[in-house]
Amino acid sequence: MTLPAEIAAVAFTNKALIYDLLFRTASETMMTIAADPKHLGARIGITAVLHIWGSAMTHHPHVHMIVPGGGIATDGSRWISSRPAFLLPVRVLGVLFRRLFLTRLIALHAAGKLAFFGKLEELADPRRRPSSRPFRLCA
């Protein structure tokens, strides 16, 4: 799951807060959608790795996740395999991830926990809100 450039710029000077938020939100998104019986109906395991640079060697924070092709039924009785083509629907993941991440980012901003420098100094104004441009989910 990838942060858009506007939020990546905020992450550059707020690494601990934003990267923690990225990990927590990405994993919660995956586990929530996987547990939903409409999608997989299982508890999944995740190994996640933070990459902060893209292939062009620019600041491009994103999380790669390794997830098994299924999970343990929520009652613990059996293994549930994912569909052959994909584990979980990307659009559904994106909607939940954006909502959770932006809600929590706005809360950090409102609490005055984010630092802004240079071109981003105007964002220190509590009346400003983070960008709502869609996030891109890595496939």
Of the candidates 112, 109, 103, the residue with the CA atom closest to the CA atom of residue 128: 109
SS3 state of residue 47: strand
83-121 pLDDT tens trace? 888 899 999 999 999 999 999 999 999 888 998 888 888
8-59 pLDDT tens trace? 888 989 999 999 999 999 999 999 999 999 999 999 999 999 988 767 777 7
Residues near 28 by beta carbon (within 8 Å), at least 6 away in sequence: 100
The model scores a pTM over 0.95: no
Distance between first and last Cα of the chain: 8
DSSP type of residue 83: P
